[in-house]
Amino acid sequence: MKTRKLGNQGLEVSAIGLGCMGMSFGYAPFPPKEESIALIRKAVEEGVTFFDTAEVYGPYSNEEIVGEALKPFKNQCVIATKFGFKYVDGKMAGVDSRPETIRKAVEGSLKRLGVECIDLLYQHRVDVSVPIEDVAGTVKDLIQEGKVKYFGLSEAGANTIRKAHAEQPVSALQSEYSLWTRQHETEIIPTIEELGIGFVPFSPLGKGFLTGAMDEKRQFEAGDTRAIIPRFTEEARIKNRALVDVIAKFAQQKNATNAQIALAWVLAQKPSFVPIPGTTKLHRLTENNGAIDIQLSAIELHELTFASEQITIMGARYTEAMEAATGL
């Protein structure tokens, strides 16, 4: 596994990370804890050093899984986690990035992860009621206190990124990005390039759709967020299959899988892009990591990009309420 640098502050990670959210949040049904721990440890064996979790994934249980799994690999891996929500009766109840909430979240994350310092701490979603300068300032203090190493933002807009970066240098922006979700190319990616901030694309496989393993007959379980996302209605899946077919054509040419081509495309965009595909299956983990060996020539990259742009994607990436919760 190769490595890449995220930002100009010294953070270096494996070129492909592992998104751990689906082990306990978002994509029910969830595997037994022991299986998730085994998968994370297998990822380490395969050279993955970058693991993504969050306080809200569960809530709390995901950090516990990641912490237990990586306990034998102390100081060998980079763990990214996130703050930014309030909870009522153990359930997420809106955004909250007040300084006191950030500090409380960090103390909880440190305990659940079993670490003395959080490698990368993201604001999970922008809280418009708290000035981003106050958020960045709080993280700056936590860095000076030795509880956090690097600062990140998730799904933040260009103006927010600039304001935060001026207060405390941002090492990474995490946002959705893939062959079918590219709206950040217009303003946000140029902004982080200008500022020397790395990019961590989540859902680089289109929440599983771009792998080709999901057709219009797929029934989503209760607790699977795709059941309410417009892009995953039966009608949309039928229409959006055209993009899967484009990817499949290139996969055949390169003797690769759809997932590997979709990830190779993301990796080829910029050397500062580190995708974090998620999976709960060991064979998918190895398949995804194999994308590092898929080299797309300039011509192939252009042809794949051009072909994908001829497809009109049906359905929004989020519901209106979910999109409103981002900082975009």
Write out the chain's pLDDT in tens, 328 residues.
999 999 999 999 999 999 999 999 999 999 999 999 999 999 999 999 999 999 999 999 999 999 999 999 999 999 999 999 999 998 999 999 999 999 999 999 999 999 999 999 999 999 999 999 999 999 999 999 999 999 999 999 999 999 999 999 999 999 999 999 999 999 999 999 999 999 999 999 999 999 999 988 999 999 999 999 999 999 999 999 999 999 999 999 999 999 999 999 999 999 999 999 999 999 999 999 999 999 999 999 999 999 999 999 999 999 998 888 887 7
Task: Name residue 82's beta-bridge partners.
Answer: 122
Residue 215 lies in a domain: no
CA distances from 189 to 106, 176, 274, 324 (A): 28, 12, 13, 20
Residue 213 lies in a domain: no
Residue 75 lies in a domain: yes
Q: How far is Cα 171 from Cα 150, in angstroms, rounded to an integer? A: 6
Whether the CB-CB separation of 205 and 277 falls below 8 Å is answered with: yes
Q: Which residues have a Cβ under 8 Å from the Cβ of 321 and sit 6 or more positions away? A: none
Give the CB-side neighbour count of residue 259, counting CA atoms within 13 A: 21
- Name which of 63, 125, 173 is nearest 327 in CA terms: 125
For residue 67, the one-letter residue type is G
Residue 134 lies in a domain: yes
Residue 23 lies in a domain: yes
Residue 83 lies in a domain: yes
Residue 19, exposed/middle/buried by CB under 10 A (0-12, 13-18, 19+)? buried
**239 CA to centre of own chain:** 26
Give the CB-side neighbour count of residue 17, counting CA atoms within 13 A: 28
- Report the CATH number at residue 191: 3.20.20.100
Phi, psi of 60 (to 5 degrees): 80, -35
Whether the CB-CB separation of 142 and 121 falls below 8 Å is answered with: yes
Own/partner long-range contacts of 96-101 (Cβ < 8 Å, ≥24 apart): 96/127, 97/123, 97/126, 97/127, 97/130, 97/135, 98/127, 98/130, 99/130, 99/134, 99/135, 99/137, 99/138
Residue 299 lies in a domain: no
Q: What is the dihedral of CA 74, 107, 38, 171, to 10 degrees?
A: -70
Active-site residue identified among 27, 57, 177, 318: 57
pLDDT of residue 31: 97
Residue 256 lies in a domain: no
Antiparallel, parallel or unpaired: β 118-123 and 78-83: parallel
pLDDT of residue 325: 82
Task: Name residue 200's beta-bridge partners.
Answer: 174
The structural domain count of the chain equals 1
Give the CB-side neighbour count of residue 153, counting CA atoms within 13 A: 28
Q: Is 57 a catalytic residue?
A: yes
Q: Which domain holds residue 163?
A: 3-205+269-294
Q: Which residues have a Cβ under 8 Å from the Cβ of 313 and sit 6 or more positions away? A: 180, 231, 240, 243
